[in-house]
């Protein structure tokens, strides 16, 4: 089978399943020669020759959901969970960044793919979709839409206008991502919202977010890869996570499994970023923030590049969660920090090794740590004063206690 790979409604290439070479990707030859043409990925530079499966698959597989969520969606759609191209045929209309995938088989039904639009969803309908999410994952609830988001957590991209919600159809762009609390982690909404607010106070770029209630608490985040235009419509910005940028399959997102580490991210930033010094400073700050907040799940798919107006750099930071609040979860870090993976074993000696991995002087790390710790009392005071109705302030206090304990390890 064959899928058109589109950006902004224009064909830039094809993703194709072959009998002898597996899945290949080829840029449209005319597009690739244009002066204004942009590569889909740092790992897929513009060229005439097709990319073999080993090079093509990491970027496109990275557009799809992960883990058990991918399996559940595949089962309901009667598609093999291992068939990336079939899943993209079913879900790939509205993906992260600017990419849309459109079926081009002669007998394919292109009605959903060719006509963009929106279907209003009432609060009651949205609440019902959320209640039924364990039976029907949100990305495919209701049918008729082709929506995809990476990650293993239930979420749905929607378009919001004048406080009303709409489901994108035919590959129309969304504006927000809605992430409900889960039965396994009912307090994850308070957790992530608090982490986002804290990161913002510390000067880290994060998406705007709020908590709404549709029967259960929902984290509602504005998409940083979408911008609102003057007429109220939404435009896409391109993005890719660091597994995609490095050509690493999403199931290898953890460094211990062959996924990216901090040194790999820096290697890409030094070549791709238009402001590598600024991005390097941000990477140091977010790495320290994740340590202090107790986020052990900051893997290669939770860092991204954002492309905007011929500029490239780190995207706002997302999926910030204090995983240590759940004692049943492992404290092994997704990326090695210094010499160690275990969060509780990291101490001040690891700061120098971390700096060496990044290619900076140790003082560049210690100064940013001191800055975070100096600002922490005011940041936690603000977090505990937040008035969002669904916030659990007892949980926030436990987050602060963990921060202070880990700060002592690094002094």
Q: Comparing 66-70, 312-316, 386-390, which segment has the lowest mean pLDDT?
A: 386-390
C-alpha–C-alpha distance, residues 386 and 179, integer Å: 20
- Residue-wise pLDDT for 83-102, tens only, equals 999 999 999 999 999 999 99
Place of tokens 């900076």: 360
- Residue-wise pLDDT for 251-291, tens only, equals 999 999 999 999 999 999 999 999 999 999 999 999 999 99
If you ran DSSP here, which 8-state letter would residue 119 be given?
Answer: E
- Average pLDDT taken over every residue of the chain: 93
- Residue-wise pLDDT for 286-297, tens only, equals 999 999 999 999
Boundary (domain end) residue, out of 111, 134, 154: 111
Q: Domain span at residue 164?
A: 117-228
Q: How confident is the model at residue 3 (pLDDT cuts 50, 70, 90)?
A: very high
pTM listed for this prediction = 0.94
Same domain, 203 and 73: no
Q: Residue 110 above 80 pLDDT?
A: no
pLDDT of residue 170: 82
Closest of 140, 147, 141 to residue 173, by C-alpha = 147
Q: How many domains does the chain have?
A: 3
Same domain, 100 and 26: yes
Asked about 330 being catalytic, the answer comes back as: no
Of 66, 112, 297, 319, the active-site residue reads 297
Same domain, 397 and 305: yes
Task: Judge residue 284's burial from the number of C-beta atoms within 10 Å of its C-beta, 0-12 exposed, 13-18 middle, 19 or more buried.
Answer: buried
CA 225 to chain centre: 10
Q: Residue 309 above 90 pLDDT?
A: no
Q: Residue 64 above 90 pLDDT?
A: yes
pLDDT of residue 106: 56
Same domain, 403 and 257: yes
Q: Residue 321 above 80 pLDDT?
A: yes
Same domain, 79 and 122: no
């Amino acid at each position: 089978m064959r899928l058109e790979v589109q950006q902004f409604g224009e064909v830039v290439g094809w993703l194709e399943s072959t009998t002898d070479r597996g899945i290949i990707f080829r840029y449209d030859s005319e597009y690739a020669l244009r002066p204004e043409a942009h590569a889909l990925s740092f790992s897929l530079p513009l060229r005439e020759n097709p990319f073999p499966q080993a090079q093509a698959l990491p970027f496109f597989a990275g557009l799809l959901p992960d883990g058990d969520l991918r399996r559940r969606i595949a089962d309901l759609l009667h598609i093999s969970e291992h068939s990336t191209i079939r899943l993209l045929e079913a879900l790939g209309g509205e993906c992260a960044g600017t990419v849309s995938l459109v079926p081009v088989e002669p007998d394919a039904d292109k009605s959903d793919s060719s006509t963009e639009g929106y279907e209003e969803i009432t609060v009651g309908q949205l609440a019902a979709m959320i209640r039924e999410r364990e039976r029907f994952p949100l990305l495919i609830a209701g049918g008729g839409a082709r929506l995809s988001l990476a990650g293993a957590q239930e979420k749905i991209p929607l378009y919001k206008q004048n406080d009303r919600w709409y489901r994108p159809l035919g590959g129309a762009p969304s504006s927000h991502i809605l992430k409900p609390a889960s039965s396994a982690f009912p307090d994850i909404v308070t957790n992530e919202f608090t982490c986002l607010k804290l990161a913002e106070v510390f000067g880290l770029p994060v998406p705007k977010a709020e908590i709404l209630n549709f029967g259960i608490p929902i984290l509602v985040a504005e998409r940083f890869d979408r911008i609102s235009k003057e007429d109220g419509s939404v435009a896409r910005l391109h993005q890719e996570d660091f597994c995609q940028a490095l050509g690493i399959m999403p199931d290898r997102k953890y460094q211990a499994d062959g996924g990216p580490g901090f040194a790999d991210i820096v290697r890409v930033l030094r070549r791709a970023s238009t402001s590598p010094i600024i991005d390097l400073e941000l990477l140091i700050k977010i790495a320290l923030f994740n340590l202090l907040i107790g986020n052990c799940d900051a893997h290669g798919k939770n860092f991204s590049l954002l492309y905007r107006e011929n500029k490239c750099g780190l995207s706002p930071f997302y999926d910030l969660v204090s995983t240590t609040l759940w004692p049943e979860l492992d404290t092994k870090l997704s990326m090695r920090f210094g010499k160690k993976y275990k969060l509780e074993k990291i101490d001040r000696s690891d700061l120098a090794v971390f700096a060496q991995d990044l290619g900076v002087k140790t003082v560049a790390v210690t100064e940013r740590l001191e800055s975070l710790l100096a600002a922490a009392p005011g940041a936690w005071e603000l977090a505990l004063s937040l008035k969002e109705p669904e916030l659990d302030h007892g949980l926030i206090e436990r987050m602060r206690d963990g921060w202070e304990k880990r700060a002592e390890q690094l002094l």
